[in-house]
Amino acid sequence: MHVQDIFSVRRPTLSLEVFPPRTPESTDRLFETIVQLEDVAPDFVSITYGAGGSTRELTHDLVVRLGTETAFNLIPHLTCVGHSRWEVERILERYAHAGVSNLLALRGDLPGGGCGTVGDFRHAADLVRAIRRFRGHSDPRGFGVGVAGFPEGHPGTPNRLLEMDYLKAKVDAGADYICTQLFFENRDFFDFRARCDLAGIHVPIVAGIMPVTSASGLNRMAELAGGARFPARLLRDLRRANGDPDVVRRIGIHYATEQCVDLLHHGVAGIHFYTLNQSAATREILSNLGSLRQAGDAVREKPGAG
Ligand SMILES: Cc1cc2nc3c(=O)[nH]c(=O)nc-3n(C[C@H](O)[C@H](O)[C@H](O)COP(=O)(O)OP(=O)(O)OC[C@H]3O[C@@H](n4cnc5c(N)ncnc54)[C@H](O)[C@@H]3O)c2cc1C
């Protein structure tokens, strides 16, 4: 289903992110997770891509297998760093052939922290343009396209005014929605959303949420989301757990639940859970929320609700 159609019928959307496993054992575990996540009926599931093409086949194969074995709307990520135009064209052809309707267009970071300009693309906006120019899709609109947004700013562009221009360029190039980097302070998201509005960016902005589930996971999250701020309130709560893994987990899930409630109250277009291929935390948060679907249905039933 084209992402424009998803957003026209579902508000707020619920989406999940998984990454392609590298071993048969972790693939089996992921498919156990997938079975559990089918219950929560996500509006779409996105699948990450290793920058430079390091998971090119793994991502593609996982998308094809999920497409055969589940009813999920799938959104493969595609990073352009290190790729030639010819390679990107071939990737698009394969996804079009596999019946994939949407892509998340990213620049990606090369291993070792480099961003490089190796390849034919400099920025994600160039990739969005290439996807838009692609003519081999059976949907006359072509692929639906999402792009990344950074409520706390992207570390590569300290000038936040310029950064908003660059985000606008991605949307003007043809992006249908924005999915944000994870964040812990909703104020940052609301301010980002307001700045987007002022900049004339009016596509749906989906909030990226990743609950803290372990003390060691905290550092990994800080690495994954370069620049993400960990509020003192969260850190203080986690410290009170005294290293008890069960308490840490409950605090993390409680915190993420509160974030989601607040986002829903403020009319978020969608919530995207970074699942790290686990289902338990996402399911617990959704069970705590209870009414995410009802909230969405209520908004949908109001004529003209956007
Ligand atoms: C939702 C989400 C999903 C992600 N999934 C993946 C994934 O699957 N695989 C992966 O490897 N990485 C992934 N990433 C990480 C992402 O690739 C990196 O954060 C990367 O550094 C930025 O990608 P981008 O698409 O925002 O790039 P861009 O939009 O190209 O921005 C990158 C930097 O360049 C700056 N910039 C943009 N345009 C210009 C311009 N014209 N002139 C000068 N500077 C400019 C931006 O301000 C920013 O600092 C994801 C990030 C998010 C938020």
pLDDT, one tens digit per residue, over 144-156 is 999 999 999 999 9
93 is catalytic: no
Task: Tell me which residue of 188, 145, 152, 153 sits closest to 170, measured CA to CA.
Answer: 145
Q: Ligand 1: which atom is nearest the Cα of residue 155?
A: 49
Residue range 213-224: mean pLDDT, rounded: 87
pLDDT at 305 over 80: no
- Residue 66 C-alpha to ligand 1 middle, in angstroms? 26
* Token pair of 132 as six digits: 């838009």
- pLDDT confidence of residue 11: 87
- Residue 76 C-alpha to ligand 1 middle, in angstroms? 15
Topology at the third CATH level for domain 3-301: TIM Barrel (3.20.20)
Q: Which of 105-114, 200-209, 249-258 has the lowest mean pLDDT?
A: 105-114
Residue 242 is which amino acid? N
Count of CA atoms in the C-beta half-sphere (13 A) of 77: 27
Give yes or no for residue 181 CB within 6 A of ligand 1. yes
Sign of CA dihedral 256, 258, 262, 265: positive
- Residue 142 C-alpha to ligand 1 middle, in angstroms? 22
Q: Indicate the pLDDT class of residue 301, thresholds 50, 70 and 90.
A: very low
Q: Ligand 1: which atom is nearest the Cα of residue 47?
A: 8
Give yes or no for residue 208 CB within 6 A of ligand 1. yes
φ, ψ for residue 105 (rounded to 5)? -95, 120
Yes or no: say if 204 and 270 are a contact pair by the CB < 8 Å rule: yes
Judge if pTM exceeds 0.85. yes
Burial degree of 138 (CB within 10 A; 0-12, 13-18, 19+): exposed
Q: Closest residue (by CA) to atom 49 of ligand 1?
A: 156
Provide the phi-psi class of 227: left if phi over 0, else alpha when psi is between -120 and 50, else beta: left
Residue 229 is which amino acid? R
Residue range 136-143: mean pLDDT, rounded: 97
Q: Ligand 1: which atom is nearest the Cα of residue 49?
A: 8
Q: Ligand 1: which atom is nearest the Cα of residue 225?
A: 19
* Token pair of 143 as six digits: 């692929």
> How would DSSP label each residue in 14-38?
EEEEE---SSHHHHHHHHHHHHHHH
Q: Which of 106, 109, 172, 205 to mutate to test the pocket of ligand 1 (most atoms within 8 A of CB)?
A: 106
- CA pair distance 166, 164, nearest whole angstrom: 5
Give yes or no for residue 55 CB within 6 A of ligand 1. no
